[in-house]
């Protein structure tokens, strides 16, 4: 049984220390390094069965990374791709609700593999949120414990063969982001999410530098909450106009598209019904379909290029 499940169940929530992560002697340290090496080997094997691994990154909080991850996963799945989503947001896991698997409890197989939850269109989902007893239980972990939790999810999840794994990252450019980027071998690239505000632009530029420093290819930028369209068809740029495109030009990165603001999005997300599934004819769902086409053509074309 992977120790993460035990750790989460019997856990140390509330500030109590997780003693398994506090080596007290040399033997313990050696065992710990051995375990980490085994896990890294397991990650390599698991990831070798996944064709394209994409991280969704922003730097900025609340710009819609999780919503974009969930909707892109459904859009890719509706195009016949086998898709998995790893929610790497330890403190604010919102993927289960946005993907309609809230309340599902992750199960482990007898040989210690985590079975993902299955969202609509067969998308497989794993999240720390599916290991917590309820919505109000906070995860109070320091950096090394978060790192080992993410490593364990990557090492033990039985994704099977997938076309796409999307990893929803929390805001920032710290522990969790580094862990994911460094642990996933041959990562295909990052999708950057912004909103059209200058405050977001400044933080997103940092996230782009972070990706470039780590040699993480950037697939492109998505601008979320771009505009509001009235029933008469008029468009209103509530936060600003063209910021995503400007970031793309400034950083020489592709611009993938704009997602409108829609009150039905936050309503669906809050109620645990996946927006993309409930409103497939909406402007936003159509925008995700177009962005999914672009992503498919970018990553699959790159992959088919001779070395």
Ligand X SMILES: Nc1ncnc2c1ncn2[C@@H]1O[C@H](COP(=O)(O)OP(=O)(O)OP(=O)(O)O)[C@@H](O)[C@H]1O
- Complex with ligand X: residue 94 or 177, whichever CB lies closer: 94
Query: What are the DSSP E strand ranges found in 58-199?
Result: 83-87, 107-108, 114-115, 117-118, 124-127, 162-168, 189-194
- Complex with ligand X: residue 164 or 275, whichever CB lies closer: 275
Element holding 289 (H helix, E strand): helix 283-304
Give the residue among 99, 90, 143, 107 at the shortest CA–CA distance from 124.
Answer: 99
How many residues interact with Mg ion (rule CB under 5 A)?
Answer: 2
Q: Beta 228-229 vs 235-236: how paired, if at all?
A: antiparallel
Query: Is residue 224 a contact residue for Mg ion (CB under 5 A)?
Result: no
224 binds, among Mg ion, ligand X, none (CB under 5 to 8 A by kind): ligand X
Give the residue among 234, 236, 228, 238 at the shortest CA–CA distance from 259.
Answer: 228
Among 180, 218, 269, 274, binds ligand X (CB under 6 A): 269
- Complex with Mg ion: residue 71 or 113, whichever CB lies closer: 71
- How far apart CA 116 and CA 105 sit, in angstroms, is 9
172 binds, among Mg ion, ligand X, none (CB under 5 to 8 A by kind): none
Of 106-165, binders to ligand X (CB under 6 A) are none
- Complex with Mg ion: residue 65 or 82, whichever CB lies closer: 65
Give the residue among 182, 115, 156, 160 at the shortest CA–CA distance from 3.
Answer: 156
- How far apart CA 86 and CA 118 sit, in angstroms, is 12
What is the sign of the dihedral through the CA atoms of 118, 44, 11 and 135?
Answer: negative
Query: Is residue 66 a contact residue for Mg ion (CB under 5 A)?
Result: yes
Of 217-236, binders to ligand X (CB under 6 A) are 224-225
Query: Is residue 171 a contact residue for ligand X (CB under 6 A)?
Result: yes
Element holding 53 (H helix, E strand): strand 50-57
Among 39, 78, 94, 147, binds ligand X (CB under 6 A): 94
Reading the block at residue 254, the tokens are: 């592709």
Query: Is residue 194 a contact residue for ligand X (CB under 6 A)?
Result: no
Among 220, 253, 262, 285, binds ligand X (CB under 6 A): 262
Task: Map residue 191 onto helix, strand or coil.
Answer: strand
Query: Is residue 87 a contact residue for ligand X (CB under 6 A)?
Result: no
How many residues interact with ligand X (rule CB under 6 A)?
Answer: 22
Of 15-74, binders to ligand X (CB under 6 A) are 58, 61-67
53, 47 Cβ separation under 8 angstroms: yes
| Binding-residue pattern over the window 11 to 50 for Mg ion, x denoting contact by CB under 5 A | ----------------------------------------
265 binds, among Mg ion, ligand X, none (CB under 5 to 8 A by kind): ligand X
Taking phi over 0 as left and psi of -120 to 50 as alpha, with beta for the rest, 240 belongs to: left
User: Where on the chain is the footprint of Mg ion (CB under 5 A)?
Assistant: 65-66
User: Where on the chain is the footprint of ligand X (CB under 6 A)?
Assistant: 58, 61-67, 89, 92, 94, 170-171, 224-225, 259, 261-262, 265-266, 269, 284
């Amino acid at each position: 049984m992977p120790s993460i499940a035990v750790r989460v169940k019997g856990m140390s929530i509330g500030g109590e220390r997780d003693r398994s992560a506090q080596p007290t002697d040399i033997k313990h340290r050696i065992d710990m390094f051995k375990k980490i090496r085994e896990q890294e080997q397991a990650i390599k094997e698991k990831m070798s069965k996944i064709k394209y691994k994409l991280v969704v990154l922003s730097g900025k909080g609340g710009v819609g990374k999780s919503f974009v991850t969930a909707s892109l996963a459904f859009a890719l799945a509706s195009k016949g791709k086998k898709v998995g989503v790893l929610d790497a947001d330890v403190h604010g896991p919102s993927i289960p609700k946005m993907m309609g698997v809230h309340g599902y409890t992750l199960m482990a197989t007898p040989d210690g593999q985590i079975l993902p939850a299955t969202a609509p269109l067969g998308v497989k989902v794993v999240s720390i949120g599916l290991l917590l007893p309820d919505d109000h239980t906070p995860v109070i972990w320091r950096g090394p414990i978060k790192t080992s939790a993410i490593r364990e999810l990557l090492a033990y999840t039985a994704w099977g063969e997938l076309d796409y794994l999307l990893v929803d990252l929390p805001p920032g450019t710290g522990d969790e982001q580094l862990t994911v980027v460094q642990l996933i071998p041959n990562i295909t690239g990052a999708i950057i999410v912004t909103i059209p505000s200058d405050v977001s632009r400044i933080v997103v530029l940092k996230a782009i530098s972070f990706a470039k420093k780590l040699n993480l290819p950037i697939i492109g930028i998505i601008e979320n909450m771009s505009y509001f369209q009235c029933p008469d068809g008029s468009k209103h740029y509530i936060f600003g106009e063209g910021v995503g495109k400007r970031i793309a030009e400034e950083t020489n990165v592709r611009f993938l598209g704009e997602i409108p603001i829609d009150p039905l999005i936050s309503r669906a997300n809050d109620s645990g019904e996946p927006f993309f599934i409930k409103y497939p004819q909406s402007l936003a769902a159509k925008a995700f379909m177009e962005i999914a086409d672009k992503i498919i053509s970018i990553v699959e074309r790159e992959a088919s290029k001779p070395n």
